[in-house]
Amino acid sequence: MPPATCSGAQNADSYLTESSCSEITGCSTQSNIECPNCQKCLNGGCSNKDAHTQDTVGSNTCTDTCKECYGGSCVNQAEDEDIFSQCGEVGCDGGATTPYFFEFVSESCYYRLNVTAENAKCGSTGSCKSAGYYCPSQPIGPFSGTSCDCSAAEIDCTGIMAGSCNNSICTTTTTTSITTTTADGGGGHHVVTTTVPPTTTLAATTTLAPTTTLTPTTTLSPTTTLAPTNDTLSYDHPNPDNDAVASDDHVSPHNGASTRHTEE
């Protein structure tokens, strides 16, 4: 029987001799015995493959995600390593199976940002870290497509809860004027009208107080004081008994004149 074809080679881990992992001239005793995964045939025996590599030769390999050869064995990579870039992008936005939401910003709901393949790493259990690990702390991502008419209408948009709106509690006005009346300090008043821009949305529950109008103050004129008089009046004494009396001269200082009265 002709000798078997020699198909193995130094540093390979397949088609080795059964007893010594050595090439025999003519390969007359060759069989299909392999070195363990993460080992190779070297200098007549099985030797460890280099650390932080994977074993892709033969049937007993070490090629799974987050696995590596280390010390002649196939082991888990350390946490936060992905030596062979096997983890890939982690979806957090609307394209993910389970989207994650950031929050409302200016009445619009946003997703969280995806994790790039470069930043996606292995965990400590031989598998890539999941969306549940990364997404809750990711920054703001793209717009989710939900916008509310006012901030009071915002519902959810957090965690894995999609945002929604109760716009029935919002009242949108194109122009709103608010009139305020204030006293001007001189008995009158000023009316100040403020126009709210069209983009302002007032909640339906907001009630504006009615305008208060102040009554002007009435100012009284000062009191007029009359000057005292210096005139002196004269008068005659009456004679109720109608008896004769001596003739008297009565001098009245009134108007500087003298009056004589004679009675019999």
Residues 165 and 182 reside in one and the same domain: no
Lowest-confidence region among 50-54, 178-182, 250-254: 250-254
Q: What is the pLDDT of residue 64?
A: 96
Residues 25 and 71 reside in one and the same domain: yes
CB 40 within 8 A of CB 34: no
Task: Give the angle 82-65-97 at the CA atoms, nearest 5°.
Answer: 95
Mean pLDDT to the nearest integer, 135-152 = 97
Q: Is 37 inside any structural domain? A: yes
Strands (E), the chain: 16-17, 30-33, 39-42, 45-48, 67-70, 73-76, 101-105, 108-112, 140-147, 154-155, 164-165, 170-172, 176-183, 189-196, 201-203, 248-250, 259-261
Give me the domain span that covers residue 48.
Answer: 16-76
Q: Is 231 inside any structural domain? A: no
Measured in Å, how far apart are the chain's first and last C-alpha atoms?
A: 204
CB 169 within 8 A of CB 153: yes
Residue 170 has pLDDT above 70, yes or no: yes
pLDDT greater at residue 112 or residue 56: 112
Residues 114 and 165 reside in one and the same domain: yes
Q: Is 194 inside any structural domain? A: yes
Which residue intervals of the chain are DSSP H helices? 131-134
Residues 184 and 159 reside in one and the same domain: no
- The 8 Å CB, 24+ separation contacts for 213-218 are 213/181, 213/189, 214/181, 214/182, 214/183, 214/189, 216/187, 216/188, 216/189, 217/187, 218/187
**80-90 tens-digit pLDDT:** 999 999 999 99
Residues 63 and 42 reside in one and the same domain: yes
Band (pLDDT 50/70/90 cuts) for residue 21 is low
Residue 10 has pLDDT above 50, yes or no: no
* Structure-block tokens of residue 140: 């703001």
**212-223 tens-digit pLDDT:** 665 666 665 666
Residue 188 has pLDDT above 80, yes or no: no
Residues 51 and 70 reside in one and the same domain: yes
Mean pLDDT to the nearest integer, 93-121 = 97
Band (pLDDT 50/70/90 cuts) for residue 201 is very low
Residues 178 and 167 reside in one and the same domain: no
C-alpha closest to that of 199 among 176, 181, 177? 176
Q: Are strands 154-155 and 164-165 parallel, antiparallel or unpaired?
A: antiparallel
Task: Tell me the helices (H) and strands (E) count for the chain, helix number first.
Answer: 1, 17
What residue has token string 């080679």? 9
Q: Is 87 inside any structural domain? A: no
Residue 228 has pLDDT above 80, yes or no: no
Q: Is 135 inside any structural domain? A: yes
Mean pLDDT to the nearest integer, 117-139 = 96
Residues 158 and 188 reside in one and the same domain: no
Residues 119 and 153 reside in one and the same domain: yes
Residues 128 and 156 reside in one and the same domain: yes
Average pLDDT, the chain: 73
Q: Is 125 inside any structural domain? A: yes
Q: What is the pLDDT of residue 179?
A: 60
Number of domains in the chain: 3
Q: What is the pLDDT of residue 262?
A: 43
d(CA 106, CA 234): 99
Residue 144 has pLDDT above 90, yes or no: yes
Q: What is the pLDDT of residue 58?
A: 75
**22-73 tens-digit pLDDT:** 554 444 344 445 678 898 876 656 789 999 999 988 778 899 999 999 999 9
Q: Is 248 inside any structural domain? A: no
d(CA 50, CA 48): 6
Within 10 angstroms of residue 145's Cβ, the number of other Cβ atoms is 12
Q: What is the pLDDT of residue 19?
A: 43
Residues 41 and 67 reside in one and the same domain: yes
Q: Is 91 inside any structural domain? A: no
Residues 191 and 158 reside in one and the same domain: no
Residue 173 has pLDDT above 80, yes or no: no
Q: What is the pLDDT of residue 134?
A: 98
CB 6 within 8 A of CB 27: yes
